[in-house]
Amino acid sequence: QKEVEQNSGPLSVPEGAIASLNCTYSDRVSQSFFWYRQYSGKSPELIMSIYSNGDKEDGRFTAQLNKASQYVSLLIRDSQPSDSATYLCAVNRGSASKIIFGSGTRLSIRP
């Protein structure tokens, strides 16, 4: 079992719809959860961090965390073609522990 699992996609979503990206993790003591966006040929860019159960909203992005189910998700509202990228889920136990990345989900927003 991989430590951080994501569906590789591609996930195709029409422009203006909600894109839902999911991630599960295996380490129950994980405490920090991150979503990165990576455009082709570029480096990952941090877009959301979440540390406690529930929802965290930032503009069109909402991160959701459920530690009991070991599940974290990212919702993108009003999807735009510029949201087409690979989204990486990352999990960390806390300071002095390495961050574990999932393999990423490719998202494609179709006009």
Partner 1 sequence: KAGVTQTPRYLIKTRGQQVTLSCSPISGHRSVSWYQQTPGQGLQFLFEYFSETQRNKGNFPGRFSGRQFSNSRSEMNVSTLELGDSALYLCASSAGTLAGGSSYNEQFFGPGTRLTVL
Task: Point out which residues bind partner 1 (CB under 8 A).
Answer: 31-34, 36, 42-46, 49, 51-52, 88, 90, 92, 94-101, 103-104
The least CB distance from residue 14 to partner 1, in Å, is 27
Q: Is 98 or 111 the residue whose CB approaches partner 1 more closely?
A: 98
Q: How far is the CB of 47 from partner 1 (least distance, A)?
A: 11
Dihedral angle, C-alpha 43, 13, 65, 100, nearest 10 °: -30
In terms of DSSP bridges, do strands 45-50 and 54-58 run parallel, antiparallel, or are they unpaired?
unpaired
Based on CB atoms, which residue is closest to partner 1, 68 or 96?
Answer: 96
Q: Which residue's CB is nearer to partner 1, number 3 or number 78?
A: 3
Q: Rank residues 51 and 77 by Cβ distance to partner 1 and give the closer one.
A: 51
Spatial distance between the Cα atoms of 86 and 83, rounded to a whole number of angstroms: 9
**CA-to-CA distance for 82 and 85, rounded, in angstroms?**
8
CB of 4 to partner 1, least distance (A): 11
Distances (CA, A) of 65 to 35, 55, 77, 82, 86: 12, 7, 17, 25, 20
